[in-house]
Copies of this chain bind each other. A is one copy, B any other.
Amino acid sequence: MTVIAKRSKLVTFINVFTVAPENQERLVGLLTQVTEGSVRHAAGFVSSSLHRSLDGTKVTMYAQWRTIEDYEAMRKDPTPAPFLREALTFAKFEPGMYEVVETFEPASG
Contacts and interface: CB of A to CB of B under 8 A. Distances in A.
A72 interface: no
Interface in A12-69: 12, 14, 16, 28, 32, 35-36, 39-41, 45-55, 58, 60, 62
A81 interface: no
A96 interface: yes
B52 A98 contact: yes
Per assembly, the copies of the chain total: 2
24 contacts: A1-B3, A2-B4, A2-B103, A3-B3, A3-B4, A11-B54, A12-B51, A14-B16, A14-B62, A32-B101, A35-B102, A35-B104, A39-B104, A47-B104, A49-B100, A49-B102, A49-B104, A50-B102, A50-B104, A51-B100, A53-B98, A54-B98, A58-B98, A62-B62
